[in-house]
Every structure is written in C-alpha cells, then in structure tokens.
C-alpha cells in the first residue's frame, strides 16, 4: 500500500487535489481516504458519494489535529489494509503551520494556494520544508509575476521540494504529481513509520485549558515578548 499525506492551510485546495488523485488512479487502483479535522468535516461523505471508495474522518476536538493524525495513523493503516486499499490518502486539517504531519515511508504533499499572498510560503516552515512535493493551486487566478515570486519563495523555504503548479479544480499540470505517485515506494515496514519532523512543544498550561493571558499566569514552557526569539525557557 502507498501512503500519501496531504497537508496545507485551510482552503488551499487539499480536497481538490485529493479528488484529482482519486479520479486519476481509481480506474486501476483501490483507494481509501481519511480526513482529519477539528470540529466538522464532510469530505468523507463526499468522497464516498462521488467515488464509492472507503472513506472516513476523525475529529481532533481539543487535541491538535496533527497530533491526532499521528495518534490514529497506525490504526488507520490497519483499516486501509483491511479495505484492500493500494493507495491510502490521509488529508490533514491544516491549521497551525508549525506542525508537519509527514511520516517516513509516505509521500508528503503540501498544498499551497497562490492567492494566499506571496509571503505565505515564508510563514510556514516545516509544513513545506519537510514535504516531498508542493502543489501550488489557483495559479490561474494570479498574475504571472506573482506566480513566479510565489515559486521563488517556496524554493527559498525548501530548495529540494518538487513544485507543481495547478488549477486543481481543472487538474491542469497535475501530470507530474501523478507521475510521482506512480513512482513512489510502497510502505515496507508499517511498524517502523516515524514522523519526519519534531512537533512543536505542546506542554504549556494553555494546552491543558488555562485561559488567562500573560506568561506570569502560566508554568511549564513560557515565553516573553522580549528576548527569547526561537528559544523556549522552562520556568
């Protein structure tokens, strides 16, 4: 079974890209689909209705959705295997831009929208830099110049990521994505699948539900406005 993990900010076009992958491979391959979201999601019902494939969703609720994804992934792989899937697509909720849900033995795809502004690739480090492929959607809506600058900035964050530009609704230019899926390796050792990156520290008192503002009201990992930059300091 091939594992595809799709991440990207909300409304970038992750589901449109998933649909194109399913549409392309469905005639020959069995595909299963999992959507991870926070409060509400409808993609599983849509995929079932449109393509008749096994599809399900999981809500993360109070937990970070990418953490949820990692927690449930082993179970999800077993489920997809039971469904007889040859390709398993996991689509993340795409929220904080600090996490990146890609694992080893998978194809990591980040979906970015060209209309989200030219600085957006610079703002979401590991979600892009740990991906294998960046699919830039909605390129039909922006000027040539912005398209070129968006690409430059994506490359700046992740020089080795393969960039694919598309209008994901029409599926233009996605031949290179399909080729990469054709060529990717299957899962070889499911018990040894690891997260590629280190998730952000999530051990603060805000995580556990304290709502007061200001670092003085919290303990564990705290940060002040001045002085810390990227350093976290325990208190």
Partner 1 sequence: MDSCAISEITILPGHDKSGRPEKFDTLVIRPGDTISIVGPTGSGKTALINDIEVFAQNDTATGRTVLVNGKVPPEELVRDPSMKPVALITQNTKCLADLTVEAFLAMHVKARKINDPGIVQETVDLANQFTGEQIQPSCRITALSGGQTRSLMVADAILVSNAPLILLDEVENAGIFREKVIRVLKEHCKSVIFVTHDPLVSLLSDRRIVMRNGAVEKVLEPKGKEQQVLEMVERIDVTLCLFRERIRAGELLVEQGFTV
Contact predicate 111/6, CB 8 Å: yes
**Three-point CA angle 90, 95, 97, nearest 5°:** 100
Among the candidate windows 62-70, 126-134, 160-168, 198-206, which touches partner 1 by CB under 8 A? 160-168
Nearer to partner 1, 104 or 167 (CB): 167
42, 49, 170, 232: which one binds partner 1 (CB under 8 A) = 170
Check binding of 123 to partner 1 (CB under 8 A): no
Binding mask 74-113 for partner 1 (x = CB under 8 A): ----------------------------------------
Element (H, E) at 59: strand 55-59
- In residues, how long is the chain? 235
Check binding of 141 to partner 1 (CB under 8 A): yes
Nearer to partner 1, 144 or 191 (CB): 144
Element (H, E) at 120: helix 120-123
List of residues 6+ apart from 187 with CB closer than 8 A: 1, 2, 3, 77, 105, 106, 193
Check binding of 188 to partner 1 (CB under 8 A): no
Which residues of this chain interact with partner 1, rule CB under 8 A? 115, 117-118, 139-149, 151-152, 163-165, 170, 172-173, 175-176
């Amino acid at each position: 079974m091939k594992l595809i993990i799709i991440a990207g900010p909300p409304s970038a076009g992750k589901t449109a890209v998933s649909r194109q992958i399913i549409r392309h491979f469905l005639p020959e391959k069995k595909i299963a689909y999992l959507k991870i979201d926070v409060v509400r999601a409808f993609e599983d019902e849509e995929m079932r209705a449109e393509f008749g494939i096994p599809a399900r969703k999981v809500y993360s609720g109070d937990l970070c959705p990418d953490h949820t994804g990692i927690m449930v992934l082993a179970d999800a792989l077993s489920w997809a295997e039971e469904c007889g899937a040859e390709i398993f697509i996991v689509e993340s909720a795409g929220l904080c831009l600090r996490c990146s849900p890609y694992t080893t033995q998978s194809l990591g795809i980040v979906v970015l929208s060209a209309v989200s502004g030219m600085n957006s690739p610079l703002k979401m480090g590991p979600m892009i830099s740990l991906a294998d492929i960046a699919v830039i959607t909605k390129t039909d809506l922006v000027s040539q110049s912005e398209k070129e600058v968006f690409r430059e900035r994506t490359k700046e964050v992740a020089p080795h990521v393969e960039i694919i530009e598309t209008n994901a609704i029409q599926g233009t230019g996605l031949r290179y994505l399909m080729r990469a899926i054709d060529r990717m390796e299957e899962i070889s050792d499911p018990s040894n699948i690891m997260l590629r990156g280190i998730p952000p520290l999530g051990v603060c008192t805000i995580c556990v539900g304290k709502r007061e503002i200001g670092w003085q009201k919290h303990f564990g990992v705290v940060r002040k406005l001045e002085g810390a930059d990227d350093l976290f300091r325990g208190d």
